[in-house]
Structure 1
Amino acid sequence: MMKKIFGFFVLFIGLATFLSCQGRQTQDTTVTDSLQKSSSLAKVERGIKDTISIVAVGDIMLGSAFPSKLNLPPDDAINSFKAVDTFLKGDIVFGNLEGCFLNSGNSSKCKGINPNNCYAFRMPDRYAGIFKTAGFNVLSVANNHVGDFNAKGRKNTAKILDSLQINYAGQLDKPFDLFTIDSVKYAFAAFAPNENTVDIRKIDSAKMLVKKLKEQADIVIVSFHGGGEGARFEHVTRKKEIFYKENRGNVYAFAHGVIDAGADVVLGHGPHVTRAVEVYKNKFIAYSLGNFCTYGMFSLKGPNGIAPLLQLKLNSKGDFLYADVVSVKQDKINRLTVDETHAAFHKIKSLTDMDFKGHGLKFENNRISLNEK
């Protein structure tokens, strides 16, 4: 990991020094064009695939052993993804890890209150293998629950994900990840407004990071944990969102900013409900993917109980082609199941119609695509 970070800053300093010595805008343009041509040629030589497949879901917490094992599911989480395992197949299978992997320990956030009323999540270490078996190969650790058990939980989570070769990012000591799958070079970065995470509220810094990642990767994936929580926060406001006196970021400005800087897809989570989607500069944004697989203390009432499983298709340039939506639902008894009423798909359509009038998207047969001009 340290080699990646060191290499990243060497590239940053070297490129900045080189460009500063040019002195004239025409020379800067020549250098930029040369870099772009070299990148395109490299893609051809590597035989980069025409279509990139990304499966994306929202919050995942399979059961917490804190404050007692009574908060673990009766099947020990083995069947958590059984209802949807045939859909979790793609070049990238992404989700938000809403908690840490840790077998024991107490949470400092629960001091002075009844632990049974404290939202602190630690999944047993063995649950990480369930993610791996299901097909997840990219996880966000930028949220308000990965740090529930402080540095011990964060470090153990990183250690386990590394051992399983699951790519992840979002903590200050792991702001991004770079990896290659089927000759395609990916960069993944994750942001949140929480302690020890890469800050979603510092948009200029986020843009700088994404810009540098784009110089190293074919496809840049950005995820964010931001916005208010619950049914009152279904809409994309295009403003700074305050929840429990906390600044949860301006997710609209953030998503547009990182795409301006080079991101190819932006995947949001945090509100625990489904939100609208948008295609901006041919790049896809999901503003919230809701509660995907969350056992225990999570509210699953109303819109909190439905979510999309997105099957995204991008071309080799990272431009949006289409997205198939598998609607899922959860309840305390049946847990995660496929929703035959397609409620999440209809919710995305209605919210997109309201929040992004004239969006230019077509919603038909559980597919989101571009309207033909």
Structure 2
Amino acid sequence: MATEIKLAAVGDILMIGPLLKSARTNDNNYAFTSIFKNVAPLLRQADLVIGNLETPLAGREAAYTKGNARTGFSMFNCPDELASALKETGFNVLSTANNHCMDRGAKGLVRTLKVLDEHELAHTGTYSSDPGEDNHLILDVKGIKIGVVSYSKGTNNILLPDGRAWMVNIIDPNNHGKIAEHIRRLADKVDLVVVCLHIGKECRHIPLPKSRQLVNLLLDSGAHVILGNHPHVIQPAFLTKGGSFAIYSLGNFISTRLYRNPATNCGVIVQLTIRKETDGTVNVTDAAFVPTWSTRLKTANGIKYRILPIRAAMLRPEPGQTASDRQLMIKIWKRTRPFLSDGRS
């Protein structure tokens, strides 16, 4: 008998300073759940939900967002309450290989994984001990064995400790063949291979040629689903005739506006139907898209942030969203919609 499951995926979970300030409670704890309340029902419908955690959970600090004087990059951290909020929202797996995973050093990276384990959130891409050739995650979802791989193009010039290069799955032009071999090896062990790639150029809607080359190589090597992150804006998605799916960038799931570019407020929830036939063949049979918008609401309790499903917000305005922000949301979505050509957007 054939088996079907639903897989949902979102983009960057980027907890920048103002988001943390708005979530801080009177007792100096943090309440993040309301940020996700409008999209949680959509995610909870899925059998497997994957997101990109683009912040360490490195412990309490006076300032969670800092600048790195040596590299010039921003460095992030987030209170542990985010993990429980993501679990409650419906997340099962978090990709942790990205350019901010070392923002609080090796100690912060290891602590992040410990916090995720405590909240029963599976993860892959970064490691507290040498994974060897098992630098991936394998899950069983309703009898379909799924392998999840996560790679990042770098760590914002923060060096990994000597002898511990295994802490982060790093991708560069010189090791594409090695990564393709990883995908082929994993494909022999599982029914479905999902690859999370943190690559590309920020704020660019068109994938770089090298990103296209890598995605094609990994699809040819046995990947069934490729989920791209890092550009912070939506990039094209496609479903192949052979039953594979790729999106070059899911955009931001939650973030403040970056680089004064309103397209960084826009992301997408990808909803995939995965079917395993009685002969063992597995294909992505359908891909649907729910566009989202990270907005800043004016409420009786001050400024709050929330992720809005755009189509629902277009039909019924969200209380607290300004008219100008709503108009901008609609404008950006109309501009972005052609990148998600499933015929229903």
Deviation of residue 165 (structure 1)? 2.5
Task: Specify the alignment match of 1:210 in structure 2.
Answer: 183
Deviation of residue 279 (structure 1)? 2.7
Unaligned 5+ residue runs, structure 2? 156-166, 298-304, 315-329
Are 2:12 and 1:59 equivalent residues in the alignment? yes
Is the 1:274–1:347 contact (alpha carbons within 8 Å) kept by the matching residues of 2? no
Relative contact order, CA 8 A, sep 6+: which one is greater? Answer: 2
Task: Specify the alignment match of 1:319 in structure 2.
Answer: 283
Aligned with 1:98 (options 54, 69, 78): 54
In structure 2, distance between residues paired with 1:55 and 1:93: 5
Are 2:208 and 1:237 equivalent residues in the alignment? yes
Alignment deviations for residues 187-219 of structure 1 (CA, whole Å, 9 cap, x no partner): 100111114532232211111111111111111
Aligned with 2:247 (options 264, 268, 286): 286
Change (3 A) 1:179 1:329: same
In structure 1, distance between residues paired with 2:285 and 2:333: 17
Change (3 A) 1:275 1:343: farther
In structure 1, distance between residues paired with 2:201 and 2:34: 30
Unaligned 5+ residue runs, structure 1? 1-46, 239-249, 353-361, 367-373
Map of 1:125-144 to 2, 5 A cutoff? 125-144=80-99
In structure 2, distance between residues paired with 1:285 and 1:275: 10
Is the 2:273–2:287 contact (alpha carbons within 8 Å) kept by the matching residues of 1? yes
Change (3 A) 1:123 1:109: closer
Change (3 A) 1:351 1:65: closer
Task: Specify the alignment match of 2:270 in structure 1.
Answer: 310
How large is the Cα RMSD of the aligned pairs?
Answer: 2.9
Are 2:201 and 1:228 equivalent residues in the alignment? yes
Are 2:110 and 1:155 equivalent residues in the alignment? yes
Alignment deviations for residues 263-294 of structure 1 (CA, whole Å, 9 cap, x no partner): 11000010000000123443100110001112
Deviation of residue 306 (structure 1)? 1.2
Is the 2:145–2:192 contact (alpha carbons within 8 Å) kept by the matching residues of 1? yes
Q: 2:48 is matched by which residue type in structure 1?
A: I
Is the 1:63–1:77 contact (alpha carbons within 8 Å) kept by the matching residues of 2? no
Aligned with 1:264 (options 224, 238, 243): 224
In structure 2, distance between residues paired with 1:183 and 1:161: 24
Q: Which has the higher helix share?
A: 1
Change (3 A) 1:130 1:265: same
Residue aligned with 1:190, SS? strand
In structure 1, distance between residues paired with 2:15 and 2:64: 18
Is the 2:33–2:89 contact (alpha carbons within 8 Å) kept by the matching residues of 1? no
Task: Specify the alignment match of 2:151 in structure 1.
Answer: 191
Q: 1:363 is matched by which residue type in structure 2?
A: D
Is the 2:17–2:64 contact (alpha carbons within 8 Å) kept by the matching residues of 1? no
Is the 2:6–2:274 contact (alpha carbons within 8 Å) kept by the matching residues of 1? yes
Change (3 A) 1:77 1:167: same
TM-score (normalised: structure 1): 0.70
Deviation of residue 76 (structure 1)? 2.5
Q: 1:198 is matched by which residue type in structure 2?
A: N
Task: Specify the alignment match of 1:365 in structure 2.
Answer: 344
Residue aligned with 1:213, SS? helix
Q: 2:5 is matched by which residue type in structure 1?
A: I
Change (3 A) 1:110 1:301: closer
Change (3 A) 1:338 1:351: closer
- The number of residue pairs the alignment matches comes to 291
Is the 1:300–1:330 contact (alpha carbons within 8 Å) kept by the matching residues of 2? no
In structure 1, distance between residues paired with 2:333 and 2:227: 16
Is the 2:6–2:271 contact (alpha carbons within 8 Å) kept by the matching residues of 1? yes
Task: Specify the alignment match of 2:323 in structure 1.
Answer: none
Is the 1:307–1:344 contact (alpha carbons within 8 Å) kept by the matching residues of 2? no
In structure 1, distance between residues paired with 2:106 and 2:244: 35
Is the 2:152–2:198 contact (alpha carbons within 8 Å) kept by the matching residues of 1? yes
In structure 2, distance between residues paired with 1:170 and 1:70: 29
Flag the structure with larger Rg.
Answer: 1
In structure 2, distance between residues paired with 1:344 and 1:324: 19
Residue aligned with 2:114, SS? helix
Deviation of residue 298 (structure 1)? 4.1
In structure 2, distance between residues paired with 1:215 and 1:167: 22
Deviation of residue 78 (structure 1)? 2.3
